[in-house]
């Protein structure tokens, strides 16, 4: 979750942390209990820390009971809330869809979730994996130092985030030109 970069250059450097974010609509692939392929795996749901995640399960009129579970813990069974977490709410419970929402998602919410349905005494399940992204944050950075021309300098930048952030070092010259360093020692 963290990356530490060392750069050996005879210049003062500016540190830029960049992060490639994957923006997905937080929904699962619909699963129909009547489909021959049910239980069909849903796509992963990816959200940023602090946002809300919606987990959807598409059902049909043959479903007699339905529930959402996190690992082995029941969150909702029909309209009955089993979870003590106030952030977990039922969003939709109709004959065709059963959805829950997790508000203010955090990293400990990450993991597998299961939509479990009962049809004609045959239990069926579908799983979705919730992925939580955390914005990058610089935890430690070298302070400004002055060195003589031709001397070496070691600069440190420790950044954390999910996915792991990329550390980019840039040198700002007196003439305003920018030099970006692509290769440097990265210590994990």
Q: Residue 115 is encoded by which pair of tokens?
A: 């939509």
Token pair recorded at residue 21 = 């974010």
**pLDDT given for residue 16 in this prediction:** 35
pLDDT of residue 123: 87
- Of 91, 113, 133, the position where a domain reaches its end is 133
Examine the domain organization and report whether 15 and 72 are in the same domain. Answer: no
- Residues 124 and 156 placed together within one structural domain of the fold: no
| pLDDT, tens digit only, all 188 positions of the chain | 555 544 444 443 333 333 322 222 223 333 343 444 444 557 899 999 999 999 998 888 788 899 999 998 999 999 999 999 999 999 998 888 899 999 999 999 999 999 999 888 788 888 999 999 999 999 998 888 888 888 888 888 888 999 988 888 777 777 767 666 655 565 55
Rounded Cα gap, residues 113 and 43, in angstroms: 11
CATH number at residue 62: 2.60.40.10
How many whole angstroms separate alpha carbon 186 and alpha carbon 176?
Answer: 27
The domain tally of the chain equals 2
Taking the model in full, what pTM does it have?
Answer: 0.67
Q: Yes or no: say if 139 and 150 are a contact pair by the CB < 8 Å rule.
A: no
Cα–Cα dist 12/7, whole Å: 11
pLDDT at 185: 60
123 in the same domain as 172: no
pLDDT of residue 124: 86
**30 located within any domain:** no
Contact 63, 57 (CB under 8 A): no
Nearest to residue 53, comparing CAs of 113, 118, 13? 113
């Amino acid at each position: 979750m963290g990356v530490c970069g060392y750069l050996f250059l005879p210049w003062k450097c500016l540190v830029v942390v960049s992060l490639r974010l994957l923006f997905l609509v937080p929904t699962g692939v619909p699963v129909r209990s009547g489909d021959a392929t049910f239980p069909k795996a849903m796509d992963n749901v990816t959200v940023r820390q602090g946002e809300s995640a919606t987990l959807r399960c598409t059902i049909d009129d043959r479903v007699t009971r339905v529930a959402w579970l996190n690992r082995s813990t029941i969150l909702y069974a029909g309209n009955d809330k089993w979870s003590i977490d106030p952030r977990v709410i039922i969003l939709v419970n109709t004959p065709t869809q059963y959805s829950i929402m997790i508000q203010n998602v955090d990293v400990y919410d990450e993991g597998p979730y299961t939509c479990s349905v009962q049809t004609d005494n045959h239990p069926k399940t579908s799983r979705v994996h919730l992925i939580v992204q955390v914005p990058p944050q610089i935890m430690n950075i070298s302070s400004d130092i002055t060195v003589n021309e031709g001397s070496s300098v070691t600069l440190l930048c420790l950044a954390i985030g999910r996915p792991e952030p990329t550390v980019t070092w840039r040198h700002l010259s007196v003439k305003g030109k920018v030099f970006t360093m692509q290769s440097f020692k990265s210590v994990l």
